[in-house]
Amino acid sequence: MAKGEKKRALRGRAGRMKGGRGSGRASTGQVRLWGRHPVEAALKNPERRHRKLWATREGIASLDGELPADFPIEYADVADLARLVARDAPHQGLVLECDALEDRFLDEVADGDPARPIVVLDQVTDPHNVGAILRSAAAFNAAAIVTQDRHAPPESGTLAKSASGALEIVPWVRVVNLARALDELAEAGYWRIGLAGEATATLAETMPTGPLAIVLGAEGEGMRHNIAGHCDALARLPISSDIESLNVSNAAAIALYAAATR
């Protein structure tokens, strides 16, 4: 196929993409990732099934390592790639379509290692926040994050970009019933601390020496009452009274640091 024909074909597919130009949506059951760190991490993840890579030659050159000789690549220019992702997404010359990761289960990750906390998120729906929490979880060697299968964002290019490769590293467990999952963590020996601004004790005062589950609620609403009731303790971060609260991803990063340095 001639270079010009390939470019027209790419534009044709992008134009027919569900959601219109720049939606960034992949086919059903698949995920479209963009940017060097998310794409590189997905390519290195043996648990990912890759479908196709659209890239500039500069984008390919920026990757760490060589792609297999038969890897499905279509070279494109920057304008073509912009049609495959969300508007103004920083694709850095790389767009990868792949299958979503296989489901993970709580008993696979709750191994009781006190050095590896589990992060439980109660209805945190912003993909930027969940991605940032995944990044902190990877940085501080957390065992997993746990969310509901509903009221949580799906895998997406936006979330993966915020996670900067951590989506491929940190197991993400989706459960039907978050309260039941907290009960299962308690049975596995985890001390469950819910972060709540109204708590009287600080995180340092409630931190155990054994296995730890850190529970965080959505911004604004915080943890639901039922989820707070399934925690062994509620704790606050000792922030200044001049600031009402922290972004949930910032709070998660601080709590994970505290767990790593106890």
pLDDT at 154: 94
Note down pLDDT in tens along the chain; length 262 residues. 344 433 333 332 322 222 223 334 555 578 999 999 999 999 999 999 999 999 999 999 999 888 888 889 999 999 999 999 888 889 999 999 999 999 999 999 999 999 999 999 999 999 999 999 999 999 999 999 999 998 899 999 999 999 999 999 999 999 999 999 999 999 999 999 999 988 999 999 999 999 999 999 987 788 999 999 999 999 999 988 887 778 999 999 999 999 999 8
Could you give phi then psi for residue 159, rounded to 5 degrees?
-65, -45
Kindly give the residue spans of alpha helices, DSSP state H, lying in the chain. Answer: 3-16, 36-44, 57-62, 78-82, 106-109, 127-139, 157-163, 178-187, 203-206, 225-228, 248-260
At residue 110, the 3 state secondary structure works out as coil
Note the pTM of the prediction, 2 decimals.
0.86
**What is the pLDDT, as a whole number, of residue 65?**
82
Taking CA 157 as the corner, what is the angle to CA 106 and CA 95, rounded to the nearest 5 degrees?
Answer: 125
Q: Residue 167 corresponds to which tokens in the numbers above?
A: 């989506």
Residue with tokens 């039907």: 176
Residue in the structure block whose two tokens are 């060697």 = 141
The pLDDT, as a whole number, for residue 69 is: 80
